[in-house]
Amino acid sequence: MTSEVTDYKEGAFADEPQGEDYIAPVKVHIIAPSTLPEGYAFDAEVGAIGAKKTISVEVPPGGVVEGQVFTIPLPDDFAVGEPRVNIPTGKWKDGLFDLLNAGIGHPSLWCGLCFTQVAMAHVMQRLRFNWLGEPAPDAASKNTFKVVVTLIICYAIFTVSLEMAEVSSNYYEIPAWIPTLRFMGGVLFTIYSIYSLMKTRENLRVKYSIPEEKCVGMEDLCCSMWCSCCVVSQMARHTGEYETYQGSYCTETGMAGGTPAVV
């Protein structure tokens, strides 16, 4: 199967046909097992842990180095007849601000608004990305939700502890290191939140062949900076097929039990 190396920029879609009738393929991320020359064929396993299937992969022009990530179209005959989440390709399922499309009480709405990083972790786990929003081997992606939630809890404990230390001190005697640590912690957590959300959106767009529409080259960053809750909710709706499968607040993927894994 012909594959392509992508740097996750708009060039990844440059060679694809255009037009309303064209249905872009779902792509899968392949991690090169070793340094290989172009044209070399090998078998790769794709899919969720415990439900993997083997597909044939051909190394793209220029070859690959060990650990390099590239994408290939998912074969048309992959898992034929098996239940799967129907995820649109070529464009977003709905708009960035269509927060109510899944319903006024839907988890994709309220998790996105109130617990943005948790909702981001749902999408990461659903797509088997790591805690930085990057495609990764099973060992690095199987516990992504737990890792992100642990980071959130640690940051909350860190912040509350410093606030309690401030309250217990006289206003004029608060040690300078307390507000300094609070500021540094907030900056670092904000940087992580924006970066990981940007990478998650970027890699999701590559997987489903969704080109940028505004601020080309900077769309993922701009959206993640200025409207993170809208970005998370849109990604959840796009990958959830909530018309068929129920969302959930309390699972690692944000989907109800029994929902097929996203390929």
Give Cβ neighbours of residue 226 (< 8 Å, ≥ 6 apart).
none
* Mean pLDDT of the 228-255 span: 94
Per residue in 180-239, pLDDT (tens digit) is 999 999 999 999 999 999 999 999 999 999 999 888 889 999 999 999 999 999 999 999
Provide the CB-side half-sphere exposure for 159 (13 A, CA).
13
CA distance 184 to 196: 18
- Return the number of other C-beta atoms located less than 10 Å from residue 150's C-beta: 12
User: What angle in degrees, to the nearest 10, is found between the helix axes of 107-114 and 116-127?
Assistant: 120
Condensed to tens digits (0 to 9), the pLDDT of residues 34-69 reads 999 989 999 988 887 877 888 889 998 989 999 899
Distance between CA atoms of 132 and 199, rounded to whole angstroms?
7
Record the pTM.
Answer: 0.86
Q: Which residue has the tokens 């190394």?
A: 59
